[in-house]
Structure 1
Amino acid sequence: FSTLGWPEKTEDFEYYYPNSVLSCGYDIIFFWLARMVFSGLEQTGKCPFSVALMHGLVRDAQGRKMSKSLGNGIDPIEVIDKFGADALRFSLVMGVAPGNDVRMSEEKIESFRNFANKIWNASRFVLMNLQGFTPKGIDVSKLSLADKWILTRFQDTVRTITDNLESFDLGLAATNLYDFVWSTFCDWYIEAAKQGLYAEDGDVKETTQEVLLYVLTGMLKLLHPYMPFITEEVYGYLPGVEGMLISAEWPVCKDEYDFTAEADQFEGVMEVIRAIRNLRAEMNVAPSRKATLIMKAHEGWKDALAAAEGYFKRLAGASSVEMLEENAASPEKSASAVTEPCEFFMPLGELVDVEKELARLNKDLKNIEGEIARANGKLNNAGFVAKAPAHLIDAEKEKLVMNQGLLEKLKARIAEMESIR
């Protein structure tokens, strides 16, 4: 209070004292917090804050207290020069439970520099696709399935993060925000939005632009307390915004943007896309190679899957989508998988060059058999078992089990390829 003009009753003193929350390390409760309370009550008759938020200490990667004698300190100025202030700020909070100590390392800070880069690149993509765009507001009657999904998930995120912050769980709020930005918005919605952005229908493109702008704007507001610099910079380029982000209103949930049923449908579409991607990866199929996608929709999913054809083409490498009745005969010589919404099939002949794939698999099989023989030779060698440290013996056993599992998978894949030869 001495900085606010006390003992005079200045405007600043009346406005800022008492404050609401004091953030304080648990190691100085008596030396600092208690004495602030004593002094405030003695000099003004009022406690200087109503809530004391205790945080932990910043330790090194091994959990040791930083000290000159150990030489394990991290100079924040050097770290900021190297990775940026936003990355340092986020690393001090992300995933930290209230009151717990923070383990700090340059590797951890670097990972959040990568997160900042992700935000920057996603923002650039959105801004590139908003050139010449004048926002008019979202017309809910024109929203796609992916639009309804991201709007619903954004409302969920606003509620969750607001609740986290109001209960002072800053680490959990940061974790939830990180997951939304990286996985939900960047990994899924931006990719799905390309279908709308590149559509010939002007209304479809404009609706996608409105949703991208709405979600990005709200996302920057949620991120701002943690990463003020990058968010303020991006915010200044958004069309239709006025003033600075630091003084903008906190996002509020809108009931008209809650589409729970449609969001659940898109989650089902995402599950199918993940399964297709996994199947293609197992079969070593190049991302550029397209193939027919044949589906047997489970009860209640046929319309949603048929409407999602564009997403399967853009996000799962499908050249076309065919729907079969659930009791129809399954296509022969096809790779398949079962998900909650459907069972799907992809003709193997369209996915891989069978002879080339068999040659690759047999080569891998030989290598794995060689590794298994080598591990068995070591483990059956009495001299090795008697003299080698226990951790080396355990490592060899783990490798043997892993390679035996790989061997069985390779044999199954070879049999599958042989069946369509």
Structure 2
Amino acid sequence: MSTPDPTRELPKSWDPAEHEARLYQRWVDAGYFTADASSEKPAFSIVIPPPNVNGSLHMGHAYEHVLMDALSRRRRMQGYEVLWLPGMDHAAIAMQTMVERKLAAEGLTRDDLGREAFIERVWAEKAEIGDNIGEQMRRLGDGVDWTRERFTMDDGLSRAVQTVFKKMYDDGLIYRAERLVNWSPVLKTAISDIEVSYADVEGELVSFRYGSLDDGQPHIVVATTRVETMLGDTAIAVHPDDERYAALIGTELDHPFVDRKIPVIADDYVDPEFGSGAVKITPAHDPNDFAIGQRHDLPMPTIMDDEARIADTGTEFDGMDRFEARVKVREALAAQGRIVKEVRPYLHSVGHSERTGEPIEPRLSMQWWVRVESLAKSAGDAVRNGDTVIHPTSMESRWFGWVDNMYDWCISRQLWWGHRIPIWYGPDGDIVCVGPDEQAPEGYVQETDVLDTWFSSGLWPFSTLGWPEQTAELEKFYPTSVLVTGYDILFFWVARMMMFGTSMGPQVDDQPQVPFHNLFLHGLVRDEHGRKMSKSKGNGIDPLDWVERFGADALRFTLARGANPGSDISVGEDHAQSSRNFATKLYNATKFAMMNGADATGELPDRDTLTEADRWILDRLDQVLADADAGFEAYEFSKACESLYHFAWDEVCDWYLELAKVQFAENDENRSRATSLVLGEVLDKLLRLLHPVMPFVTEVLWQALTGEESVVIAPWPQVQSADADPVAARHIDDLQRLITEVRRFRSDQGLRPGQRVAAEIDGLDVAGLERSRPYLDSLARLEGAGDDFAATATIDVRLSAATVTVRIDTSGTVDVAAERKRLAKDLAAAEKELSSTTAKLGNEQFLSKAPDHVVAKIRERQRVATEEAERIGAALNALGGS
């Protein structure tokens, strides 16, 4: 190692704002994050789940970015050639909606501009706002390779999209058909399931009568919350075993408004116990009805246009909005005497467009589809065969539940912004699919629809590496090492990538490869009360707000400390403040250690020459290193961070630094040198272990401690080969317990923290702590007993091998009468709390009615009150007197 510059002093305190931007730019300029595809190092690669280009990073993004960065930084330190590839998604619906909203404010529509001018406008908006996310990533400390940043609509990725579409079309995996889709009347396009959010809506349940109004003549009663859809009814279904309707099965009933006969059909789907046991079938506007319509070969008339207005029914309702028609149809049915029950409120779940907020309309529509059966099988087999490992494994059942039961995928969207489907229509009805190096025949017109965004993002792991060209990046970094993403898009995005990768992607020995070897699924970020963050609840947290207030390291450590595979994480300001305090503690402790001679540049002395305190902290360092390695390897960030946190705070800062001060004070040159080297070794490795999660403060401290270039490229610590010393560990544990008990006694007696008191101690030699008196005197503020020593209190501390007795003379240091009065007051309060909680817990009526969490809270209060009463009583006894 280089020699640290002794003239380079650390600032008085840790202020993240003074360092973060400078450090990050230095890392980028130095090329630390730029991957070398020609490197002989083993490869480690992650592609970023691309955020939408029109948005900004929310706390969920920050969460997974921290985890990806921690994995990348650690692998870089372990000697891997690391590629963490950044990029953004064109977000077809979100981006088009945003631009159309801006046009509306100008009094324009996209039709006013025309397709070409509108797309130019979207590109202009993208250029204006696209840098926002990149700046946020820099503020978080994301160690991405900016030289390889990609966008789902750049030329290379567009070529990959066209290549895959052409191959799938030629292989018969892409087809055009009229099917039921989620339709957004505002956007006037089909949307995917992930773009539909469900909410309970107070509607009305309308029961009306098909057939004769005479009870003695054929008729059936059905109920619906969307009575306007009855204009598209083409059947009434009953259960085949329902005797009430046996005679009607196969007959037909007149439609009240349309010149159409409504057959009564039998289908096992119908629940005879629900409602009247009969259901109206509207195949073009309900998923379940569509399935029944297919089974029974029913007509499927679409009764709404692309804006959800009633159309082509030949009735008085044509031209009405669906909600207006809902009222008018009900009124018309009532006028005919067909409403058989009073219309009543009915709470039911309704899907809404996530982007525009209106209820979606299930609608029969001509769309482009992917035939998924073979693709889904290959995606499922990749996990079954272990080619891709899901973390946590408990998510496998959800994965198989989806891919083993997948429906064909609607990939067309009626938008202008996006990858335009490379299908061209000829004047005679011919259809041609055009590949990336092909031209459509003259006179052919291209399909107006664009592809679902998930189609292009499904190619992300290999399209970003240059495929379909055989690039050096593809050769080096594909398949990628791990995908880090939320479990909530396991089906929508991850399944698409697995289907494309295992069926269409880059091949080795003529076999497609999985897109990633490991799939780490993290949970959602929730607020401190466990609620999902949302704008409507007002509980969302801007990650950059926390960066401003607490520093990037504090944000990062807060998120990583709560991260475990598949589990949600709850965070609040208290967590961020705690993490900021940890960064400050680390900074102050390292600065203090350096001021006292900590040296990370020399070789450690032989273990035989070290003190038990030295051997203990080095052994603990090895154990914590092993724990951190195990946590990171298993994607159990919480376990790794907890281990590092408690080692740094509880053992290094609270104990070893204090023990080291005693060793420095002995004025033994060899002892001081050994202590400085041990302290330097511990801090050097600790800072390297914390760097993946807390890159900024560790960089400043490690550079100052070691004099080296950067902790970013420092080697990951290794466990020492020496055997652990269990005797030293036991002795230090006993010493900590002894000091803690004396400190507790001092606190209970009201002694000032720095006030020294005389003490006699028996049993140190039997306990194996005969050389520990200097530590005890320094850390417990004791001093030797003089000739006039007279013990006023005795403390017996049971240790692992013996009981140590500490006799203390507090005369002249404590106002015994005042202290007894204070303690008596505290004891009365503790006993009152104990009495109150005991009474409540003894009340059977209370216990039978109170929620479990309330009872648990009272039990905890009772436990604390009991301990307080015992502690204060012991303190009173130690004072003596009456």
Same fold (TM over 0.5): yes
2:726 to 250, 257, 260: 260
- Residue 713 of structure 2 corresponds to which residue in structure 1? 247
1:306 — aligned with what?
770
Unmatched tracts of structure 2, length 5 or more: 1-461, 507-511, 840-849
- The one-letter code matched in structure 2 to 1:21 is V
Match of 1:219 in 2: 686
What is the CA deviation profile of residues 5-64 of structure 1, one whole-angstrom value per residue up to 9, with x for unaligned ones?
A: 222222222111111111110000111111122222313122111110110001112222
Match of 1:417 in 2: 879
| Aligned counterparts, 1:59-138, within 5 A | 59-130=526-597, 135-138=601-604
Please list, as runs of the form range in 1=range in 2, the aligned pairs for 1:44-59 lying within 5 A after superposition.
Answer: 44=506, 45-59=512-526
SS of match in other structure, 2:521: strand
1:367-406 → structure 2 map (5 Å cutoff): none
Report the equivalent of 1:7: 468
Quickly say closer, same or farther: Cα 1:283–1:344, change in 2 above 3 A.
Answer: farther
Question: How far, CA to CA, are the matches of 2:519 and 2:834 in structure 1?
Answer: 59
Whether the 8 Å CA contact 1:67–1:73 is kept in 2: the answer is yes
Q: 1:344 aligns with which of 799, 804, 814?
A: 804
Checking the alignment, whether the CA contact within 8 Å between 1:119 and 1:181 is kept in structure 2 is: yes
Give the counterpart of 2:816 among 345, 352, 357.
357
Q: Retained in 1: the 8 A contact 2:562–2:569?
A: no
Contact 1:293 1:318 in 2 (8 A): no
Q: Deviations over 1:69-97 (max 9, x none)?
A: 11111011111111111111111121443
Q: CA deviation at 1:364?
A: 4.5
SS in 2 for 1:256: coil
Inter-partner Cα distance in structure 2 for 1:354 and 1:152: 40
> 1:160 Cα deviation (Å)?
1.4
1:196: which partner in 2?
663
Q: Distance in 1 between matches of 2:731 and 2:859?
A: 44
Distance 1:345 1:409 in 2: 18
Q: Deviations over 1:183-233 (max 9, x none)?
A: 011110011111122331111111111111111111011111111111122
Q: Aligned partner of 1:62: which letter?
A: H
Q: Is the partner of 2:537 in helix, strand or coil?
A: coil
Alpha-carbon separation, structure 2, partners of 1:259 and 1:406: 37
Equivalent AA in structure 1 for residue 505 of structure 2: Q
Partner amino acid, structure 1, of 2:749: M
Cα shift readout 1:154-204 (whole Å, capped 9, x = no counterpart): 111111111122222111111111111110111100111111223311111
Distance 1:244 1:315 in 2: 36
> Closer, same or farther in 2 for the Cα pair 1:111/1:369, shift >3 Å?
closer
Name the one with the larger helix percent.
Answer: 1
Whether 2:766 is the aligned partner of 1:285: answer no
Report the Cα distance in structure 1 between the residues aligned to 2:477 and 2:618, rounded to whole angstroms. 37
Distance 1:296 1:154 in 2: 30
Aligned length, in residue pairs: 395
Shift of 1:153: 0.5
Matched residues in 1 for 2:867 and 2:637: separation?
A: 42
Provide the C-alpha distance between the structure 2 equivalents of 1:256 and 1:408, rounded to a whole number of angstroms. 44
Code of the residue aligned with 1:417 in structure 2: it is: L
Distance 1:118 1:207, change over 3 A: same
Q: 1:396 to 1:126 in 2, by over 3 A?
A: closer
Change (3 A) 1:414 1:182: closer
Distance in 2 (alpha carbons) for counterparts of 1:169 and 1:96: 7
Distance in 2 between residues matched to 1:274 and 1:412, nearest whole Å: 16
Three-state SS of the structure 1 residue aligned to 2:784 is strand
Q: Which has the larger radius of gyration?
A: 2
Quick check: 1:320 aligned with 2:784?
yes
| Maintained 8 Å contact 2:749/2:819 | no
Maintained 8 Å contact 2:830/2:869: no
The AA in structure 2 aligned to 1:319 is E
Take 1:27 and 1:66, find their aligned partners in 2: how far apart are those partners?
A: 14
Per-residue Cα deviation, 1:124-162 (whole angstroms, up to 9, x for no partner): 11222338x683311123211110110011111111111
Contact residue 827 and residue 872 of structure 2 kept, 8 A: no
Q: 1:126 to 1:48 in 2, by over 3 A?
A: same
The structural deviation recorded for 1:100 is 0.9
Q: For 1:337, what is the secondary structure of its paired residue?
A: strand
Equivalent residue, structure 1, for 2:793: 334
The equivalent residue for 2:352 is none
CA distance in 2, matches of 1:409, 1:104: 34
Given that 1:294 and 1:321 are in contact with CA atoms closer than 8 Å, whether structure 2 keeps it comes out as no
Query: For residues 252-292 of structure 1, what are the alpha-carbon distances to aligned partners after superposition, in whole Å with 9 as ceiling and x for unaligned?
Result: 11122632222222212212111211222222222322222
Answer yes or no: is 1:31 the counterpart of 2:492.
yes
Aligned residue in 1 for 2:271: none
SS of the residue 1:196 aligns to = helix
Q: Distance in 1 between matches of 2:709 and 2:814?
A: 63
Q: 1:277, 1:316 within 8 Å by CA — same for their partners in 2?
A: yes
Partner Cα separation in structure 1 for residue 725 and residue 542 of structure 2:
47
1:385 is aligned to: none
Query: Is the partner of 2:762 in helix, strand or coil?
Result: strand
- Cα deviations by residue, 1:298-320 (Å, 9 ceiling, x for unpaired): 85x2xx31111211111112213
Q: 505, 508, 523: which is aligned to 1:43?
A: 505
1:26–1:99 CA contact under 8 A, matched in 2:
yes
Query: Contact 2:485–2:522 (CA<8 Å) still a contact in 1?
Result: yes
Deviations 1:84-120 (A, max 9, x none): 1111111112144321111121221111011111111
Alignment check: 8 A CA contact 2:793 2:810 kept: no
> CA contact under 8 A between 1:362 and 1:414: conserved in structure 2?
no
| Distance (whole Å) between structure 1 residues aligned to residue 626 and residue 688 of structure 2 | 13
**8 Å Cα contact 2:749/2:814 also seen in 1:** no
Q: Normalising by structure 2, what TM-score?
A: 0.41
TM-score by length of 1: 0.83
Tell whether the 8 Å contact from 1:96 to 1:102 is kept in structure 2 after alignment: yes
Identity between Structure 1 and Structure 2 (%): 34
Equivalent position amino acid for 1:14 in 2:
E
The residue aligned with 2:418 is: none
Change (3 A) 1:177 1:372: closer
Measure the CA separation in 2 of the matches of 1:222 and 1:337.
Answer: 39
The answer to whether residue 704 in structure 2 is matched with residue 237 in structure 1 is yes
Q: Any idea what SS the aligned residue of 2:644 has?
A: helix
1:371–1:223 CA distance, 2 compared to 1 (3 A): closer
More strand by share: 2
Cα distance, 1:338 vs structure 2: 2.5
